[in-house]
């Protein structure tokens, strides 16, 4: 995972998530990026909204994206990830990991 996140500094976080080898890998990479606060200018993601982050994980359906946004009370996802409060950030990470485990898929 460290190598992939290092790649985000070179090519950008959105690209790394879009080209991840699997859905689970992309979701975990997004989770770690949030936990480590790697969303910002260094990973060309300083203007990335919560909706943009979810859309970058191309294997997520629109229904799943809306479910995550609703679960963490982010409305339409316009909030910039770099401006998420700690509690919201942790909620997004939990929701992404739930999807990665298959527990929240399609529900």
pLDDT digits (tens, 9 = 90+) for 27-48: 999 999 999 988 989 898 899 9
pLDDT digits (tens, 9 = 90+) for 73-104: 998 999 999 999 989 999 999 999 999 998 65
Residue 40 DSSP symbol: S
The model carries a pTM of 0.88
Query: In this predicted structure, what is the pLDDT of residue 12?
Result: 93
Any idea which residue has 């949030």 for tokens?
34
Query: Distance between CA atoms of 66 and 76, rounded to whole angstroms?
Result: 8
pLDDT at 6 over 50: yes
Q: What is the mean pLDDT of residues 56-75?
A: 93
Residue 94 tokens read as 């939990």
């Amino acid at each position: 995972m460290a190598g992939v996140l290092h790649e985000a500094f070179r090519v950008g976080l959105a690209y790394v998530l879009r080209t991840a080898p699997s859905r689970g890998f992309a979701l975990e990479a997004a989770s770690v990026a949030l936990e480590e606060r790697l969303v910002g200018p260094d990973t060309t993601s300083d203007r990335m909204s919560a909706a943009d982050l979810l859309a970058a994980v191309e294997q997520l359906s629109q229904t799943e994206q809306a479910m995550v946004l609703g679960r963490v009370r982010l409305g339409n996802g316009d909030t910039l990830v770099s401006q998420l409060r700690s509690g919201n950030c942790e909620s997004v990470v939990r929701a992404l990991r739930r999807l990665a485990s298959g527990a929240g898929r399609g529900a």
